Every structure is written in structure tokens, then in C-alpha cells.
Homo-oligomer: A and B are copies of this chain.
Amino acid sequence: MSITLADIAEKAGVSVAAVSKALSDQSDIAPATRRRIKQLAGEMGYVMNVAARTLTMKKTMAIGVVLPLAHIPAVTDRLRGIQAEAMERRYLTSVAFHNGGIDEERKQIEMLYGRVDGFVITPANQSLELAKLLKRLDLPVVCMSEPLVKMETDFSGDDDEEGGRLAAAHLLERGRERIAYLGYAEGTPSDQAILKGMREVFAGKGLSLDKSWIRWGNASQAETRANMDALLAMTPRPDAIMAFSDVTALWVLEHLERRKVAVPGEVAVAGYDDTIFAELGRMPLTSVAQPNFEIGRQAARLLLERLEDESGAAAAPCRRVVFKPRLAVRMSSG
């Protein structure tokens, strides 16, 4: 069995209350007693019982992180940021990945409930169900990288419109006017934001994005292959591909090589995230870079500040922290 406060109290010849006070550095205890108790606790190898503390304090000192797309390096970078911040404030980060489906997403959130004081999520589903669930649980939520349209929450992410603008401006400048977009899902706010940014730049030049060049569902290589073949079969063909993630862009590079389409000669390619793999694909990939670690760190900070704000935690208005992306230009776009 583990050491408890009672064990220490007995050995020290004081009450349990005294030990509790001493170990949690309360003021109403004699410095000498505190020192003695702390010393003893250390010797006895005391470790606080988390469940008991949680039960009395109604605070778990942990934050829950629920994320899709575990295989995307940008996601793990953001996670490291969250963990770094949480650890600094002595909070545990409890992570759960899911496959992007609403059922798994919901299930993970439910499993975490009662073990965490709040959530950082990158919602993969814009369903009402998810928003309802989170409202019912009534814990602080921070959205990271992707807002939840059905619910107002704190937000940390990058400015995807600006990302779209940067990419579009760059490609236009390189003489590409027929840009296709490979996105994740039509209902995804960040996809829409990127498109909005791109459209803005196009409009500025009196151009527009062709609807039929927007293709969804690029979370698997097979889908991306199919999308690319469809695009290549069109006349005129797109002369540039913008992908919502680096992984998708790498699939595009691989597929174009297979189809013997010259990059960037015939088709320029750009991705999003600028992860370590952007430099390692068939050729160096142009990519929109986000400060992923910082995005995660900030997400955790927003959550923790809300948790530690004793006063009107619930009342405080939602905050949005938006980071500016930049463009890493490499060979794939000439």
C-alpha cells in the first residue's frame, strides 16, 4: 500500500490536517513543523493520491487533448507545444487521437471527461452533435487550428486566409493562373479560409478559381490519386496544385512523377504545414509554414489561463490568437 497523509501524521506525531497544510505550503503552520513534516514525507516516499485530491478539490490538474490525423507531423509539433506549456504549469496533458470520424471523436472526449479540467481540440467534425456534447460537459474548450463553427470557444491557430493569399500570390507571380485545390472536406473552416484567401488574390487580378478544380477528400493516398487523375484529364489542365497538407502534396509529387508530368515545368505544387518532410519528398516542396509548436503552446495557455482564473472564468469573453503564416518557397513551384 502507498503512504498516506495519515501515515506521515502518525509518525510525526501531528494531525492529518497539519500534514496537509505543511505539504501544500499553507501559511498557518509553524515553519519548523512544516520543515519537519516535509522532510519526513520525503524520506517516507510520499506521493499524493491524485484521486483523493481530485475528489475534494474538484480539479484534476490535467488537460485533455483530442486530435485527428496523428500521422501528420504538424499535429505532433503542436502537441509538443501544448505539453511544454502544460508541464510548466504542472498540468498533465492527456492525449487521445481519433480517426476523424464523429463517433471516435465523441467517444474520446467522453472518456476523458472527469479526468481533465478542460479540452484542447482540433475538431474534425463540424457536427451539431459535437458542439452539444461539449456544451453539456461544460468544461472550457480551446480549438486549435480549426474553429468549431457551431460553438464559440477560445482559439489558437494560424491565419489560413493569409496562407491562401501567400500561396496564390506566389503561384500567380510564377505565371500560374489555373490553380487546383486539394482540400480535406468542404465543411472544414480552414479549407474554406484558404480558398477565400486564394480567391481574394485571384479577384485582385481579375481572375477566378474554377469550381471544378476544387477536390475534396485527400486524407488517403488513393483519394488523392483519383483526384489528380481527374484533374489531369481536364482541358485545360490546371498548371498548379495547392494541397491542404504537406502529406497530400507529397502524394501529388509522387503521382505526377508516375504520370510523367514535369514539376514544376507543367504543374507547380505547393503544400501546407512545412513539416520536416517538405524538404524530403520527390523534390523540395513549397509550403505554407505555420509556427506549430507556438500554436500548441498558445492553445494550452488559453486553456490554462481560463482554468486558473478564479474570478469569472465562465464569463470571460472568448479569445482568438492568430499566427501569421509565411511561405517557404522551394523547387516544386519553380
Residues of chain A having any CB pair with chain B under 8 Å: 45, 47-52, 54-55, 60, 62, 70-71, 73, 76-77, 79-80, 83, 87, 92-97, 107, 111-115, 136, 221, 247, 250-251, 253-254, 276-277, 279-283
Task: Please report the C-alpha to C-alpha distance between residue A52 and residue B54 in the assembled complex, in whole angstroms.
Answer: 8
Contact, CB under 8 Å: B55 / A49: yes
Contact, CB under 8 Å: A51 / B114: yes
Q: Tell me the dominant secondary structure on chain A's binding face.
A: helix
Q: In angstroms, how far is the closest chain B Cβ from the Cβ of A214?
A: 24
- CB-CB under 8 A from A136, the residues of chain B are 45
Task: Please report the C-alpha to C-alpha distance between residue A45 and residue B113 in the assembled complex, in whole angstroms.
Answer: 13
- CB-CB under 8 A from A276, the residues of chain B are 71, 221, 247
- CB-CB under 8 A from A70, the residues of chain B are 76, 79-80
Q: In angstroms, how far is the closest chain B Cβ from the Cβ of A276?
A: 7
Contact, CB under 8 Å: A96 / B97: no
Contact, CB under 8 Å: B92 / A115: yes
Q: A277-B280, A280-B254 are known contacts. Are A115 and B76 too (CB-CB below 8 A)?
A: no
Contact, CB under 8 Å: A92 / B71: no
Task: Please report the C-alpha to C-alpha distance between residue A113 and residue B136 in the assembled complex, in whole angstroms.
Answer: 29
Those 9 A-B pairs whose CB atoms lie nearest each other, nearest first: A50-B114, A51-B54, A70-B76, A95-B95, A51-B55, A250-B280, A94-B94, A92-B111, A51-B51
- Jot down 11 A-B pairs with beta carbons below 8 A, ordered by A: A45-B136, A54-B54, A70-B79, A79-B97, A87-B107, A87-B111, A93-B96, A94-B95, A221-B276, A254-B279, A280-B280
Residue of B nearest to A115 (CB): B50
Task: Please report the C-alpha to C-alpha distance between residue A87 and residue B109 in the assembled complex, in whole angstroms.
Answer: 12
A50-B113, A87-B111 known; 19 other A-B pairs, CB under 8 Å?
A47-B114, A50-B51, A51-B54, A51-B60, A51-B114, A54-B54, A55-B55, A71-B76, A83-B97, A94-B115, A95-B95, A95-B96, A95-B97, A247-B276, A250-B277, A254-B279, A277-B280, A280-B281, A282-B283
Residue of B nearest to A48 (CB): B114
Residue of B nearest to A59 (CB): B51
- CB-CB under 8 A from A280, the residues of chain B are 250-251, 253-254, 277, 280-282
Q: In angstroms, how far is the closest chain B Cβ from the Cβ of A50?
A: 4
- CB-CB under 8 A from A47, the residues of chain B are 113-114
Task: Please report the C-alpha to C-alpha distance between residue A229 and residue B97 in the assembled complex, in whole angstroms.
Answer: 39
